[in-house]
Amino acid sequence: MSLWCLPPVPADICHGPVPAPNPEFTLKPKKKKSIQQSCETPGSPCSPCQEIVLRQCLGQHIGTEQMMVCSNRTPFSCSNLCGNLLQCRNHYCQKSCHAIIDRSLILDGYAISNVTPESCEECTLPCQKERSPACPHPCPLPCHVKNCPPCKVLIKRSCHCGTMVHVFECALYNSMFEEEQQQARSCGGPCHRKLPNCTHLCPETCHPGKCPSPEKCSKKVTVRCVCLHLKKQWLCHDVQAACCNSKHDMREISRSQFGIGLLPCTSECDIACKKKTTNPEVHQRKITMMEDKAKPALLPKGRKRREHKQEIKRSSKLEKQVFQVITLTAQKWLLIATMVVLLLVFAYFGYHGLFWLSDWMNEVEARRLKNRYPRI
């Protein structure tokens, strides 16, 4: 049997001409007529192929195949979105099912040459990737394939003691380990934060966290007795220990009272005071005064601050009132002076002005008469 019959589609696409059954291998009697049509007359065109085939949609979506007669080559779109991965490799095409430009135009056994393939969408979104190392700054590029470039945003971080502010490139700072970050943030100068238990400043190099061992402060402190006559040099940690024993809260002792009253008054104090005042009662009074003076220093800081604020308020109010009275008086006197000056000016110019006017009128009259009677 020859294959002369020229099918309307290429032989590899359609089932092609079907040769007449070989009588020797044909079951007899043949009751069912085959759907396949054979080319009975060599050289004549085949009748349309009636084979039932499964056809895929234009977008080649899985599970959307339709049963179609082989010769029916009408392309169809399914109800899915295209879903093809876009060039940005992050997003998928949202167009409805369409023939894709870069796929083979021969789909599952039929040509779609009469269908113009469409290109997928173009991604216009900004980059939505998470940056590495993670940071809150968005990537400046439009949606892209490769990793994001390192974040160049400048971030500010103060040093541990608060003396200066460092500026870091975000990616550089965030790629450091925590320890490295802490190190990079140190200003390298002395910490100089006030120690919690004494009046001294931390001598350590700018460091994170609390100041280490403030109870071991070894600065020198002048300690005195209550009447201030005796004095000695102690190390700060000894002063702290002594204050601890006397159950004074270190945080509430003011700078000027630090170390005062730690030495007990001796007979020396009495003698010294006698020399000065010749009266031990006065010395006693002085001691009481000193103790009284020391008391406000032991008042809670908040109360002290409140009282101080109120005092400032009161004095500033008084100052304001005095200033107002002065300004009002000055304004009154200035007004009176201006009025007097104006009156004087008017009187002077008014008086002289009258004379000048009468002179001028006389002159005009004389000129007129002269013109009228030139011989006189």
Residues in contact with Zn ion by CB under 5 A are 57, 59, 61, 78, 80, 82, 84, 88, 90-91, 93, 95, 97, 120, 123, 127, 129, 135, 137, 139, 141, 143, 148, 151, 153, 159, 161, 163, 170, 187, 191, 193, 198, 200, 202, 204, 206, 211, 217, 219, 236
Which residue number, 41 or 114, has a Cβ lying nearer to Zn ion? 114
Please count the other Cβ atoms lying within 10 Å of the Cβ belonging to residue 106.
13
What whole-number distance in Å separates Cα of residue 172 and Cα of residue 178?
12
Neighbours of 88 (CB within 10 A): 16
Give me the least distance between CB of 209 and Zn ion, in Å please.
9
**Measured from the CB atom, is 60 or 71 closer to Zn ion?**
60
For residues 185 and 157, is the Cβ–Cβ distance under 8 A? Answer: yes
Question: Which CB, 148 or 272, lies closer to Zn ion?
Answer: 148
Per DSSP, the three-state class of 236 is helix
* Contacting residues for 141 by C-beta, under 8 A, at least 6 apart: 126, 127, 148, 149
Residue 286 beta carbon to Zn ion: minimum distance, rounded to whole angstroms: 28
Residue 234 Cβ vs Zn ion, minimum distance, rounded to whole Å: 10
**In the complex, least distance from residue 11 CB atom to Zn ion, rounded to whole angstroms:** 27
CB nearer to Zn ion: give 18 or 199: 199
From the CB of 253, what's the least distance to Zn ion, in Å? 12
Contact 267, 251 (CB under 8 A): no
For Zn ion, give the closer residue by CB, 124 or 278.
124
Secondary structure, 3-state, 248-270? CCHHHCCHHHCCEEEECCCHHHH
Of 50 and 163, the one with the shorter C-beta distance to Zn ion is 163
- Return the sign of the alpha-carbon dihedral for residues 333, 339, 343, 349: positive
266 and 253 Cβ atoms separated by less than 8 Å: no
Minimum CB separation of residue 111 from Zn ion in Å reads 17
